[in-house]
Amino acid sequence: MPSITGSFTATITKQSGMPLADHPNHELSLVEVSGTQESRDPLWDRSQVTYWAVTDVQDGKGTQTGYYNNVHGHKGRDWGTFEGKVTVEGRKMTVEGTYKLTGGEGEYRSVTGGGKFKTVLASETEVHCAWDGKYTLAKAKAHGR
- The domain segmentation of the chain, as residue ranges, is 3-136
- Give the pTM: 0.90
Secondary-structure class of domain 3-136 per CATH:
mainly beta
Cα 41 to Cα 6, 46, 61, 123, 125, distances in angstroms: 8, 10, 34, 28, 28
- CA dist 143 and 145 (Å) reads 6
* 1-55 per-position pLDDT tens digit: 889 999 999 999 999 999 999 999 999 999 999 999 999 999 999 999 999 999 9
**What DSSP state is assigned to residue 1?**
-
* 72-127 per-position pLDDT tens digit: 999 999 999 999 999 999 889 999 999 999 999 999 998 999 999 999 998 989 99
